[in-house]
Homo-oligomer: A and B are copies of this chain.
């Protein structure tokens, strides 16, 4: 495997570092979904991870890797999603401050969740420039370390532990599907899975309404996501400078699914597996059930990552 920002050794080191801090999530199966997919599916339940998403792995790895002096000054990120909660909890577990920049338009419930994990929230205007500025100001003021949501070697390595565990539990997988937004999970899992088992085929799963990774793969170059529009609100960002080369080289393909397919897969998982997955977390399952993936030959046992389970229970999704 060529040199990327992150390698199998980094993923293994992350695994050693975060063991005991993160949940080793279960792998579950479901006869009904197998029948619909036409093959055996092994679901890695990161919706059951702490803070309800795989994001805690990368955040925990990044925070635990800091020196004591660095850690004492705290960590910073700008996010209103699962990474914000993950970083807040990872910092609290280490007993250091987390400064979270959120757009002032973020739902109150998201702010409350971050504060519930002990994070210090700074509100800013809802533009990327304002968020970056506010984060940089916090770094300048506190000396805290910036931990971005995906394009960071320690974050990618942490997310890769998902695939490491999955292949330990189900060594004879011949394919793996993970959702792709910024690509931290997909790149980390590709590095880990193909590092451990070079023959394993790795696929990305993306909403049609935020299909930059699929378009980038088709073009052979990293294309930005503009104007995303999908129920899968954790997958709106473009792939990163560090994650894209891995996706370009080590991921066989990125399959897209419609919001209706996502909703339908999500409902099946709630109904038949009794597991709450969020829309973004169900995109891998939607791909596995979709026509294009089912037409793929030579694939018998597929690992599928349920990446998160953070939904509002105040609304119906169907």
Contacts and interface: CB of A to CB of B under 8 A. Distances in A.
Interface in A216-275: 267, 270-271, 273-275
Nearest to A45: B274
A305 to B, nearest CB: 14
Contacts of A28: 48
A274 B47 contact: yes
A270 B275 CA distance: 9
Interface string A19-50: 00000001010000000000000000001100
A306 to B, nearest CB: 9
A274 B309 contact: yes
Interface stretch (A55-63, A289-297, A310-318): A310-318
Interface string A167-204: 00000000000000000000000000000000000000
Contacts of A271: 313
Interface residues of A, number: 19
A273 B310 CA distance: 10
A209 interface: no
Contacts of A314: 316, 318
Nearest to A276: B274
Contact of A48 (B270, B274, B309, B318): B274
A303 to B, nearest CB: 18
A52 interface: yes
A186 to B, nearest CB: 22
Nearest to A317: B313
A243 B57 CA distance: 47
Nearest to A312: B271
A134 to B, nearest CB: 29
A265 to B, nearest CB: 13
A313 B47 contact: no
A102 to B, nearest CB: 21
A318 B315 CA distance: 10
6 contacts: A48-B274, A52-B274, A270-B276, A274-B277, A276-B276, A313-B318
Interface of A: 26, 28, 47-48, 52, 267, 270-271, 273-277, 309, 313-316, 318
A-B residue pairs, 9 tightest by C-beta: A274-B309, A274-B276, A47-B274, A48-B274, A26-B26, A270-B313, A270-B276, A271-B313, A52-B274
